[in-house]
């Protein structure tokens, strides 16, 4: 991954505190521990929260592999923060996960792995308001989950004037 686009303050590794300050999740819901590498189109993060018995995504004490989609979505949000601003005090636009496609879960659970997870996302298309990412979750060399995700960065445009008018009390 190229490092030449990075301001000195944004060079990896970036820690959990930096991540939590730049995505719309904090506390236990901030699932990533660090950003290990990034450039204009890629990001690689590390996570250990899959081992936490109090992980908020657990159900009946288990962490299903499809919860890895949220790990990937957080990596995408971090990538958006990094790619969209070299000012580490700026908070990026909030993105919404619009769809996931081609998801392949190669394991049933994430919490059965002792080693840290590697969460990678690659921007494979998009424009100013919509972004398409490919993502992979690994433990060591083993691929646990992969797929594609569409992220909508400007939901107000998708909602249209009709919804805005309802909130303002105007006729639709």
pLDDT in tens, 20-72: 999 988 999 999 999 999 999 999 999 999 999 999 999 999 999 999 999 99
pLDDT in tens, 112-158: 999 999 999 999 999 878 999 999 999 999 999 999 999 998 666 55
Amino acid 16: pLDDT: 97
What distance in Å separates the CA atoms of residue 128 and residue 154, rounded to the nearest whole number? 9
Name the pTM for this structure.
0.83
Question: DSSP of 13-60, one letter per residue?
Answer: PEEHHHHHHHSS--GGG----EEEEE-SSEEEEEE-GGG-TT-TT-BT
52-56, 88-92, 102-106, 138-142, range with the lowest pLDDT: 88-92
CA 156, distance to chain mean position in Å, is 20
Domains of the chain, CATH where assigned: 8-168 (3.10.129.10)
Amino acid 95: pLDDT: 81
pLDDT tier at 10, thresholds 50, 70, 90: confident
Q: In this structure, what are the phi and psi dihedrals at residue 3, rounded to the nearest 5 degrees?
A: -110, -5
What distance in Å separates the CA atoms of residue 100 and residue 151, rounded to the nearest whole number? 9
Which residue shows structure tokens 């997870």?
117
Give the chain's end-to-end CA distance (angstroms, integer): 49
What distance in Å separates the CA atoms of residue 61 and residue 108, rounded to the nearest whole number? 14
Neighbour count for residue 4 (Cβ, 10 Å): 6
Is residue 120 within 8 Å of 135, Cβ to Cβ? Answer: yes
Amino acid 159: pLDDT: 54
* Mean per-residue pLDDT, 4-12: 60
Indicate the length of the chain as a whole number: 172
* 124 closest CA partner among 58, 40, 17, 26: 40
pLDDT tier at 4, thresholds 50, 70, 90: very low
Question: Is the pLDDT at 167 greater than 90, yes or no?
Answer: no
Identify which has the larger pLDDT, 85 or 165.
Answer: 85
């Amino acid at each position: 991954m190229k490092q030449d686009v990075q301001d000195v303050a944004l060079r990896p590794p970036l820690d959990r505190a930096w991540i939590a300050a730049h995505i719309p999740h904090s506390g236990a819901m901030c699932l990533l521990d660090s950003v290990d590498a990034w450039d204009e189109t890629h990001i690689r993060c590390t996570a250990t929260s899959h081992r936490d018995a109090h992980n908020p995504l657990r159900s009946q004490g288990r962490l299903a592999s499809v919860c890895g989609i949220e790990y990937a979505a957080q990596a995408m949000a971090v990538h958006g923060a990094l790619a969209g601003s070299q000012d580490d005090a700026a908070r990026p636009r909030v993105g919404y996960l619009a769809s996931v496609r081609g998801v392949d879960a190669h394991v049933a659970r994430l919490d059965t792995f002792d080693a840290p997870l590697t969460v990678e996302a690659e921007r494979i298309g998009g424009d100013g308001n919509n972004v398409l990412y490919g993502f992979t979750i690994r433990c060591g060399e083993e691929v646990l989950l992969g797929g594609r995700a569409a992220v909508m960065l400007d939901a107000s445009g998708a909602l249209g004037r009709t919804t805005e008018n309802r909130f303002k009390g105007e006729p639709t």
